[in-house]
Structure 1
Amino acid sequence: MTVWFVVAVPLVVLVFALFMERVESRLRNVTVKEEDVEEFLEKAHPNEVGALYGQGIGRALELFRLRRVSGKANKLRTRRPESAQ
């Protein structure tokens, strides 16, 4: 009986450690950076704050980034005709 215990405990610990490493690697890709949150809190629009309250930081940051990207695209479109003249 003791032999089974001596063999089983290290195997269970090994399997648990491997499982937790996989969970950690997935979480590492999902985490939100502090700089992103600070910028969001400084420059967010009301609809983005509403998304933060209702759907969480992930969706709110997604809306914020979409607005920033579309704003940059609009700026580039308005600048191109001026530079062509």
Structure 2
Amino acid sequence: MTAWFVIAVPLVIMLFALFMERVEARLRHVAVREDEVEQFLEQARPDEVRALYGHGIGRALELFRLRRLGGRATRTRPRRPRGDRSPSQFG
């Protein structure tokens, strides 16, 4: 029984560490850096502040970054208005 315990505990700890590393990597991409928030609070425009209030810091920082890039980032696929669909798209 003790031999199984000696083998199982290190394996469980290693698996837990690998799992937590994956969780940390995902959180690292989602996290907001402190200097970004400071820059936002110092230089935000009214529409960006409204986005902060209405949608949270993620959307507000996205608008802030787009403005700082000068609008170089564009959507990959333009959206069509709802009424502009051909009959072949309905079926």
Give the whole-Å Cα distance in 2 for the aligned partners of 1:7 and 1:71: 56
Give structure 1 stretches of 5+ with no counterpart: 73-85
RMSD value, Cα: 2.1
Residue 47 (structure 1) shift: 2.2
> Which residue does 1:53 correspond to in 2?
53
Residue 38 (structure 1) shift: 0.9
Q: Percent identity?
A: 72
> Which residue does 2:23 correspond to in 1?
23
Give structure 2 stretches of 5+ with no counterpart: 73-91
Question: Relative CO higher for 1 or 2, CA cutoff 8 Å, sep ≥ 6?
Answer: 1
* Per-residue CA distance 1:50-74 (angstroms, 9 max, x = gap): 22233221211001111233379xx
Structure 1 counterpart of 2:14, one-letter code = L
TM-score, normalised by the number of residues in structure 2: 0.63
Greater Cα shift, 45-54 or 15-24: 45-54
User: Of Structure 1 and Structure 2, which has the larger fraction of its residues in helix?
Assistant: 1
Residue 46 (structure 1) shift: 2.4
Runs of 4+ with >3 A deviation: none
> Which residue does 2:8 correspond to in 1?
8
* Per-residue CA distance 1:25-83 (angstroms, 9 max, x = gap): 222233322221111001112221222233221211001111233379xxxxxxxxxxx
Per the alignment, in what secondary structure is the counterpart of residue 49 of structure 1? helix
